[in-house]
Amino acid sequence: MTENTNTNKINSFQKEQNKVEMRKQIITFALMIFFTMIAFFAVMLGVSSTFVIPLILILAIVQVGFQFYYFMHMKDKGHEIVSGMIFGGILVAFLVIITFVAITWW
Amino acid sequence: MSHDHSLNPETMPEDPAKATMEGKHKFLGLWIFLGGETVLFACLFGTYLALRNSTAGGPSSQDLFGLELVFLMTLLLLTSSLTSVYAIYHMKNNNFKKMQLWFGITALLGLSFLGLEIYEFAHYITDYGFTFRSSAFGSAFYALVGFHGGHVVFGLSWLIAIMVRNAKRGLSLYNAPKYNTFGLYWHFIDVVWVFIFTVVYLMGMVG
């Protein structure tokens, strides 16, 4: 913060930035609602299960990506270590689920 | 800097939640916690996926689930995620009252979600006799969905505690990280719910 005599200007710039960010998050929210509705309708309409299960799983993964990257700001800089934590968790999560299901059914 | 950390337009940092060392540590600590939570819920999901057809002659997922209720619960929790984004937006603009208002709406939406979940469980138990002990499917279902509900209860208690505790203090570098940490936790609850409604309810209806 050097040579910033005009703090009001800084604040209005920040406010504008926050507003742009907010707009993105509202779009994200609308898309998430939209994906949720597609998933529910696909199941309610009784689309065949070989098609609908991959579809709803992909929609869920996309929604979770939105949630992490936009709502929880993982796309912003300074989130490298944080991403490591979550992706580490997701990696172990996959192994756990595959293992549990494989032990029981194969 | 004095001990008074309250914020005015001159001292307002870009992100009050991460302006102090304590704030940075809380932020990192919460994400480490969320990484662990991912693994914890993976264990519950793995168990559920392995046991979801083991109904032992009791009610199956097709007999029990009603998608209308689940859809409503999903909308409530998803919207509460957005309202907490609004609250953090007002925090960044140093508007404490609006932040409290939007977090208040978040709490109400969370409470409605919880009410519907309690209704759902009560409905299964009284109308279908479907309990934790009915079958392996019952145990896995209540463990997974109930554990998520427990997280919602914990989150609501946490939110109400910080809202009441800081009600008269105004926004400061001391309490901004607390609200921000809660916001991240609440989004994570929603992340888990997205997988619950997909894997448990929707896949349960498909078969």
Question: Which residues are within 8 A (CB) of B85 and not within 5 positions of it... i.e. 6 or more apart?
Answer: A22, A25, A29, A71, B183
**pLDDT of residue A69 exceeding 70:** yes
- Look up residue B20 and give its amino acid: T
Domain identity same for A20 and A48: yes
Query: Measured between CB atoms, which of B39, B50, B206 is closest to A93?
Result: B39
Q: Is residue B124 part of a domain?
A: yes
- Which is it for the CA torsion A62, A87, B52, B148, positive or negative? negative
Domain identity same for A34 and A68: yes
State the residue range of the domain holding A46. Answer: 1-75
Q: Is residue B195 part of a domain?
A: yes
Q: Is residue B8 part of a domain?
A: no
Across chain B, mean pLDDT equals: 92
What ipTM score was computed for the predicted complex, to two decimals? 0.86
Domain identity same for A1 and A41: yes
Domain identity same for A65 and A86: no
For residues B178-189, give the mean pLDDT.
Answer: 96
pLDDT at site B188: 96
**pLDDT of residue A2 exceeding 60:** no
Task: Give the gap in angstroms from C-alpha A32 to the nearest C-alpha of chain B.
Answer: 8
Domain identity same for A23 and A58: yes
Domain identity same for A53 and A16: yes
State the residue range of the domain holding B81. Answer: 16-206
CB B82 within 8 A of CB A22: no
Domains in chain B, number: 1
Measured between alpha carbons, how far apart are the two ends of chain B, in Å?
62
- The β-bridge partners of B6 are B172
**pLDDT of residue A5 exceeding 90:** no
Binned at pLDDT 50, 70 and 90, residue A16 comes out as: confident
Question: Tokens representing B134?
Answer: 């009915």
Domain identity same for A8 and A31: yes
> B25, B38, B106: which to substitute to probe chain A, counting the most A Cβ within 10 Å?
B38
A10 vs A68: CA distance, rounded Å: 28
**pLDDT of residue B169 exceeding 80:** yes
Q: Is residue B196 part of a domain?
A: yes
**pLDDT of residue B16 exceeding 70:** yes
Tell me phi and psi for residue B90, to 5 degrees.
Answer: -70, -30
Q: Specify the residue for token string 């607390």.
A: B178
Binned at pLDDT 50, 70 and 90, residue B5 comes out as: low
Residues 60-119 of B with CB under 8 A from A: 67, 71, 74-75, 78, 81-82, 85-86, 89, 92-93
Domain identity same for A23 and A68: yes
Q: Is residue B148 part of a domain?
A: yes
Domain identity same for A89 and A71: no
CATH classification of the domain holding B184: 1.20.120.80
Segment A20-56, tens digit of pLDDT: 888 989 999 999 999 999 999 999 988 888 899 999 9
For residues A48-65, give the mean pLDDT.
Answer: 92
Domain identity same for A93 and A60: no
Segment B107-163, tens digit of pLDDT: 999 999 999 999 999 999 999 999 999 999 999 999 999 999 999 999 999 999 999
Domain identity same for A53 and A87: no
Domains in chain A, number: 2
Binned at pLDDT 50, 70 and 90, residue B68 comes out as: very high
pLDDT at site B115: 97
Domain identity same for A82 and A50: no
Q: Is residue B149 part of a domain?
A: yes
Q: Is residue B5 part of a domain?
A: no
Please indicate whether, in this complex, the C-beta atoms of B81 and A7 are within 8 angstroms of each other. no
